[in-house]
Amino acid sequence: MHTQFLVNLKILVVENDILQQDILFDFCESHGAKCYTSKNVTKSVELVEVNQFDVALCDIFLNGDGTGFDLFDQIQILDPDLTTIFVTGQLQDEVTQEIIKKDAYALLRKPFDMTSLGLLLLQAARNTRNNRRNKYIANNLKSKIETIQKDKNRIFINTLLSLSAALEQKDEYTKNHSEKVGDLAGKICWEYTYNKTFIDDVITAGKLHDIGKIGIRDDILLKKGPLTEGEFGVIKTHPENSYRIVKPVDAVGKISEYVLHHHERWDGNGGYPHNLKEKGIPVGARILAVADTFDALTSSRPYRAAKDRDFALQMILDGSGKQFDPEIVEILYKMVRTGKIDSTDWNPIQPLQK
């Protein structure tokens, strides 16, 4: 009657010597372990893919499709927490160097003492389980930290949204502009994709796209006449200012990217701040560019009255392939024409050139 000191352990024995394999199998099973055997790398990999082993006992010199070192590399990919014990009867210098290089857990020389083998199997199994427990704890802690950080970031994002709305209230001409851009961009997004995370990010970016204007002097921001070249240069800093404000609380980075690039041009001619072009511009920013321009055109400004919907849509169409992504322009056009985008402030649609 053997002592069941290996009970509940699942052990993989990789040994091409059938007699040695049988000895190891009988030892493991007789002491309470569940043992699986293999003679080569391919079958061993298949076993590791469908089983969670506590220990792999692996001969270094195998026949056929690779060595024990090759199998070790595969195990590190499939189950990096699994502890491998190498077994060999041929301890050469290059073998020793490779074992050191692999940072192997242990090496057993053939023939070996079975009592020592049993103790080493227990230690290796304990090492595997510690690895898995520590990884679980680390992942669980990471998940909790990420949840806390997301909640914290959302609080800050909401604060920024309130700040952006408050900023626009001091100018009757831009009042609620960012809110409307976010809503319009969201409507376009729903025609473009059903990816809710993307849509939510674009809506948030739309509502924050001008928050960087908080750092621009009122005498420029609220100027009723045309801007000088220097003043316009100051205005052009607002996407980067907005990016710097949003980025610290934008965990993934997409909202801040859309904010940063909403004034790029499809043709790359004069867009800012990085002069990107075509699909080098994040799609969320391309959507914002269309929504921002459409709302700006249909809203009054100190230097002009609001344009009607016909005019605004025609301007967007004229900019297709130049300032704007043609695909996004097409979506806006169809939505306006079918009444999916409407406003009592806009005049009825008349036939447009397209």
Are the C-beta atoms of residues 73 and 48 closer than 8 Å to each other? no
pLDDT more than 70, % of the chain? 88
Sign of the dihedral defined by the CA atoms of residues 49, 54, 60, 64, in that order: negative
What is the reported pTM?
Answer: 0.57
How many of the other CB atoms lie within 10 Å of CB of 141?
10
pLDDT in tens, 29-82: 999 999 999 999 999 999 999 999 999 999 998 877 899 999 999 999 999 999
pLDDT in tens, 303-352: 666 788 888 899 999 999 999 999 999 999 999 888 887 644 444 334 44
Distance of CA 142 to the CA centre of its chain: 15
pLDDT, the chain, mean: 86
pLDDT above 90 for 116: no
pLDDT in tens, 256-270: 999 999 999 999 999
Task: Name the strand (E) or helix (H) holding 58.
Answer: strand 55-59
Per-residue confidence (pLDDT) for residue 222, from 0 to 100: 77
- What ranges in the chain are assigned the alpha helix state H? 18-30, 41-50, 68-78, 93-102, 114-169, 177-192, 196-208, 218-221, 229-235, 238-246, 254-260, 283-297, 309-318, 326-337
CA distance 184 to 299: 14
